[in-house]
Structure 1
Amino acid sequence: MGDLPRLVATDLDGTLVRQDRSLSARTAGVLAQIAARGTVVVLVTGRPVRWLSQVYGQLHEPVPAVCANGAVVYDPEADQILRADPLAPELLAEVTRRLRAEVPGAVFAVEVEDGRELRHDAEWPVLWEAGDPSIRALATPEEVASVPAVKLLVRAGRRDPDVFVQVVAAALGGLAEATHSSHSGLIEISAAGVTKAAGLAWFCEQHGIEPADVVAFGDMPNDVPMLTWAGRAVAVANAHPAVREIADDVTLSNDEDGVAAYLEKLFDLP
């Protein structure tokens, strides 16, 4: 990438956002400066749409987002879903059937209504979202496959996520995509071919932007497809080894405003 990028794509949790879920004033200011210069900024995240307001409230202006690991492309100004690529109910039924057979104690949740609502098995651990009206327990295990879902989540207690994702992927046999972005053993499943790279590529195609014109930031295995696709891949210092291995550059950690520090140098910001 010889010239400045036309688009900056960044993951949120563990990359742009600090461990306390805050976005620093420095980071918000840098993103605003490069956007004012005409560079497109896109958030590319595993988060559902309903979790984006926490970040938008800390930015100077809302920016487009690729959510649910590429399954949803969202325009915050119009509050509009530009594209959605969900798992169909019949696919959900087969995926959950296979995983219940292969993984003892597996429990599931689904992101539905384009990621505006979550439905979960009765045994699913609901932590800080307890009491949120957009979160509802399923009446029966079969209801997990009753409507299309932009993401299926599976847990089976605390497990090594790098090991567990391989178990899940083997059970799926290419039927769907399995990845992870946490350290607790939570596995995220999307329709086959749906990744952060695919969602971002669709957005870039709509705007006439080539991969070579994109710089992307990430920290976890679900970022690897996007980082591989982008013209320049940057890992934060706290990134998973799989991300550091394929990155072109490494910046400071998320708690040290690594994305902002890198962009300040790249764009020669004051």
Structure 2
Amino acid sequence: MPQKLITIDLDGTTLNSQNQISSKTIEVIQKATEAGHLVSIVTGRPYRISEAIYDQLQLKTPMVNFNGALTHIPHQHWQGEYKRTISKAIVLDMLENRQKLQLKMIAAEGKHTYLANHLPPSDLNFFPTTLSDDQLLSKTSLVHNPTSMILFVAPHQEQIVRNTVLHHYGQQVDVGVWGGPNSVLEVVSKGIQKAKAVAYIAKQYHIDRQNIVAFGDEHNDAEMLDYAGRGVAMQNATPIIKSIANDVTEFDNDHDGLAKYLETYLKLAN
């Protein structure tokens, strides 16, 4: 079997609904690596909450964070590393207008930086629950252009805030919606998507498009599954993602859907 590039989303795909990786998933991904395939995490998560998963899977491959705005190999210098940032002026503009726009929280993130003007609500567990003085978002602390800006907004303001950002900065940025119970908008550099990062990694390792296998479950995986030679939707994926995919796993993310599919597809069973 030719070398495959296997790109895996985290939430709802590699991770179960408790945000954990099963021992089965770890075992199968390590077998895939030993068989000579490249397994890459491609996630909307920032690096700070995906590094531990990368290490648990014992990967040495490029990882994609912020839906494609950052591609890097953790724990080492990689000449192929790239990042796409947004102007810090946009963040400071939102900070200045936060009351008018009813913004509950503004956060700016980079590979190793996290700044916020406020602690998040307790149910937004993707964010640090403490803020040190040097993590408080201000004109002074925001030294570099960030990779991503998160806006936590009042539900009735979501569309207004999105339209405001696009009206003023639409030529520079895209605005994504997290979905779920909270109204969270994520602002990244224009044109960022997982598929572009996957194509970039494939080019770095001379892997043809037809040898890319991508797994995902949500709207931010759509272009990646469409681009891959074999796009695989999780059993728990949204109907749209299932319609885009070439195949659907037999089991969901709580029953090792990704691991069992890979084991069969790559013939890894003992």
TM-score bin, normalised by smaller chain: 0.7 to 0.9
Mapped partners of 1:146, 1:46: distance in 2:
23
- State the AA in 2 paired with 1:236: M
Mapped partners of 2:232, 2:100: distance in 1:
36
Indicate which of 183, 194, 197 corresponds to 2:195: 197
Report deviation, 1:236: 0.9
1:8 aligned counterpart, secondary structure: strand
2:115–2:135 contact (8 Å) kept in structure 1: yes
Structure 2 unaligned runs (5+)?
none
Report deviation, 1:99: 8.5
Report deviation, 1:17: 0.8
Mapped partners of 1:158, 1:25: distance in 2:
38
1:155 aligned counterpart, secondary structure: strand
Mapped partners of 2:132, 2:61: distance in 1:
26
Question: TM-score, normalised to structure 2's length?
Answer: 0.82
User: When the two structures are aligned, how many residues end up with a matched partner?
Assistant: 262
Partner of 1:73: 71
Mapped partners of 2:131, 2:78: distance in 1:
22
2:186 aligned counterpart, secondary structure: strand
Partner of 2:255: 256
Report deviation, 1:58: 2.5
Indicate which of 91, 104, 121 corresponds to 1:125: 121
Mapped partners of 1:259, 1:74: distance in 2:
23
Mapped partners of 2:43, 2:164: distance in 1:
21
Mapped partners of 1:241, 1:39: distance in 2:
29
Report deviation, 1:15: 0.8
Mapped partners of 2:228, 2:134: distance in 1:
34
- State the AA in 2 paired with 1:120: A
2:166–2:174 contact (8 Å) kept in structure 1: no
Mapped partners of 1:124, 1:248: distance in 2:
38
Change (3 A) 1:134 1:233: farther
Change (3 A) 1:153 1:263: same
Change (3 A) 1:220 1:103: farther
Report deviation, 1:69: 1.1
Report deviation, 1:102: 9.0
Partner of 1:187: 185
Change (3 A) 1:204 1:159: farther
1:15 aligned counterpart, secondary structure: helix
Say what the alpha-carbon RMSD is for the aligned residues: 3.3
Mapped partners of 1:169, 1:54: distance in 2:
33
2:108–2:115 contact (8 Å) kept in structure 1: yes
Change (3 A) 1:66 1:226: same
Partner of 1:148: 145
C-alpha distance after superposition, 1:91-146 (max 9, x if no partner) = 5456x38996995436321103x2x221112264365521365982324xx66965
Change (3 A) 1:102 1:229: farther
Question: TM-score, normalised to structure 1's length?
Answer: 0.82
- Are 1:44 and 2:45 matched, yes or no? no
Partner of 1:29: 27
2:101–2:157 contact (8 Å) kept in structure 1: no
Partner of 1:218: 216
Mapped partners of 1:22, 1:266: distance in 2:
23
C-alpha distance after superposition, 1:54-102 (max 9, x if no partner) = 21342244442111111111212416682111112245456x3899699
Mapped partners of 2:16, 2:74: distance in 1:
22
2:86 aligned counterpart, secondary structure: coil
Structure 1 unaligned runs (5+)?
none
1:234 aligned counterpart, secondary structure: strand
Mapped partners of 1:67, 1:87: distance in 2:
15
Partner of 1:176: 173
Mapped partners of 1:99, 1:230: distance in 2:
41
Mapped partners of 2:171, 2:96: distance in 1:
12
- State the AA in 2 paired with 1:237: Q
